[in-house]
Amino acid sequence: MICPNDSAEMHQVRITSHYGQPIVLEQCGKCGGIWFDESELFVAKQGEAEKIELLDAEGLRNTAKLENATLCCPRDQATLFRFADKHFPNDIVLERCPLCRGIWLNRGEFTNYQRFRQELRQPKERSSEDGKLEEKINQLVTSYQAGESTAVLGKLGRFLSTPVDDGEALPPDTDQGPPVAANAANLVMSLLMTILRLFILR
């Protein structure tokens, strides 16, 4: 297989998938770029990038610029296009084939991609806004347990009718202070659905 970046001959390298199955990739010995057939990138086991990008430890740890402005798929010669995804940082460049859906990663990008995935798995720190949100949920539960079901149901109704894009996790109220950011909306929905079930099963 010929490298789409510098037309050098690529060689096979082996990595492991999440399920322990072997994956055979093609890597250019000159520029260090790697070709992934469809879905191979996304099923690669965490940490596999370091195994094959240690061929030139100093060079391959730093991403390199593409030599050719237009890359062609090494499988079917179709023009590769920039794979854009809002869940990927801008500094990870993925070139994808529209026909076979293979992906080309330039030198060091496989390592960057797996590092990015690992960071996503790290537990996020609780913000002060999360604490405020949890406090308000606890107040709703306490109000419900104290028999103030009508008031609690009204607040839940206002929340459920508020568009998520407004950036608020609870509807604004005169006694609630500034709105809470919507980054904890999943937590809110889980807790509020629990409260709603209490109303239904009452």
Name the 3-class secondary structure at 156: helix
- The DSSP call for residue 182 is G
At residue 189 the predicted structure's pLDDT band, cuts being 50, 70 and 90, is: low
Q: Are 177 and 189 in contact (CB under 8 A)?
A: no
For residue 193, the tally of other CB atoms under 10 A from its CB is 12
At residue 182 the predicted structure's pLDDT band, cuts being 50, 70 and 90, is: very low
Name the 3-class secondary structure at 171: coil
Name the 3-class secondary structure at 93: coil
168 pLDDT above the threshold of 60: no
Q: Which residue intervals of 53-183 are DSSP H helices?
A: 57-60, 109-121, 128-145, 149-160
Considering only residues 191 and 99, tell me which one the structure prediction assigns the higher pLDDT.
99
Which helix H or strand E contains 52, and what residues bound it? Answer: helix 48-52
Can you give the pLDDT at residue 66?
A: 52
Helix 185-201 / helix 128-145 crossing angle, nearest 10 deg:
10
181 pLDDT above the threshold of 50: no
* DSSP states of 10-31: EEEEEEEBTTS-EEEEEEETTT
Distance, in Å, from the CA atom of 15 to the CA atom of 23, rounded to the nearest integer, reads 5
pLDDT tens, 16-47? Answer: 998 899 999 999 989 999 999 999 999 999 99
Taken as a whole, the chain contains a residue count of 202
Q: Are 26 and 53 in contact (CB under 8 A)?
A: no
Q: Are 167 and 178 in contact (CB under 8 A)?
A: no
- Triad 113, 115, 116: Cα angle to 5°: 65
13 pLDDT above the threshold of 90: yes
Average pLDDT along the chain: 76
In this prediction, residues 109-125 reach a mean pLDDT of 83
176 pLDDT above the threshold of 50: no
